[in-house]
Amino acid sequence: MNKDKVILVDADGVLLDWERPFTAWMVDHGYKTVENHELKYKVHEKFVGMPKSQSNVMARYFNESASIAYMPPLRDAIKYVKKLHEEHGYVFHLITSLSSDEHAQALRTKNIRNLFGNTAFEKFIYLDTGADKDKVLEAYKDSEMFWVEDKPANAEVGLELGLRSILMTHTHNLSYEGKAERVWNWSEIYRIIDNASRLKNLNHLWTGDDNLSDNPWQNILEDVRDERIANEGK
């Protein structure tokens, strides 16, 4: 495995738009959303009168339903996942707390391959519904791989383990102020990864060393932020 060409990714909220289909499914099952439910992350906080103990139960029911085979892509994920794979040779390891049910896992694998192709995803790592990802991420410790998540706690774990955490922005994580780089779409992720790759190649050409500057990663992030600000001003 060439660690320089592996990208670690969550599924829901990163590759797939899980939130809207799940909310529609819950409404169909008689639940009502609270005001500003988009700002909430925990399931029981999104719906009127739902006890905390039911959060994982309802998420599991949905994740093990036929609906999970038809999750739509998130934003511009298809375009840039395929671009990273087909034009730059990256492969993806999917790490998702979907379910321990093998049928649900098979449906998700099918969904991912239908959207992104059969070869982009080299590994599928499935955890139980809502499970922490700490132990799985330990296997990638100090690899400096990119790790794309939408849950701040998981992004922080990645940082602690020496990964390059990128946080996909949603209304539920707007209050996050940690060190993971915040992005709004896959176009920004593509730019960060492509720039990092170009910088590393220049390192080898110019110095034969992986340390072109004290913190080249930070320089890349600053370039992306500057470009985003410039585009927003147009």
- In three-state form (DSSP H/G/I as H, E/B as E, the rest C), the secondary structure along the chain is CCHHHEEEECCECCCECCHHHHHHHHHHCCCCECCCHHHCCCHHHHECCCCHHHHHHHHHHHHCCHHHHHCCECCCHHHHHHHHHHHHCCEEEEEECCCCCHHHHHHHHHHHHHHHCCCCEEEEEECCCCCCCHHHHHCCCCCCCEEEECCHHHHHHHHHCCCEEEEECCHHHCCCCCCCEEECCHHHHHHHHHHHHHHHHHHHHHCCCCCCCCCHHHHHHHHHHHHHHHHHCC
pLDDT at 213: 47
Lateral strand order in the sheet of 164-168? 121-126, 91-96, 6-9, 146-149, 164-168, 181-183
So what's the pLDDT on residue 183? 98
Predicted pLDDT at 212: 46
Q: What is the pLDDT of residue 121?
A: 98
Distance CA 58, CA 50 (A): 10
List the chain pLDDT tens, one digit each, 234 residues: 788 899 999 999 999 999 999 999 999 999 999 999 999 989 999 999 999 999 999 999 999 999 999 999 999 999 999 999 999 999 999 999 999 999 999 999 999 999 999 999 999 999 999 999 999 999 999 999 999 999 999 999 999 999 999 999 999 999 999 999 999 999 999 999 999 988 876 655 555 555 544 555 556 566 666 666 666 665
pLDDT value at residue 200 = 73
The answer to whether the CB of 58 falls within 8 A of the CB of 45 is no
Pair 167, 196: CB distance under 8 Å? no
> What's the predicted TM-score (pTM) here?
0.86
For tokens 């239908």, what's the residue? 114
pLDDT at residue number 219: 61
Q: What's the token pair of residue 99?
A: 């379910």
Q: Is residue 49 within 8 Å of residue 39, measured between CB atoms?
A: no
Domain ranges of the chain: 3-16+72-232, 19-70
Q: Does domain 3-16+72-232 have CATH number 3.30.70.141?
A: no
Tell me, what amino acid is at 160? E
pLDDT score of 3: 82
| pLDDT of the residue at 59 | 97
User: In the prediction, which pLDDT does 228 show?
Assistant: 65
Spatial CB neighbours of 62, under 8 Å, sequence gap ≥ 6: 22, 25, 26, 68
The length of the chain, given as a count of residues: 234
Residue 59 sits at the vertex; the CA angle it makes with 76 and 19, to the nearest 5 degrees, is 25
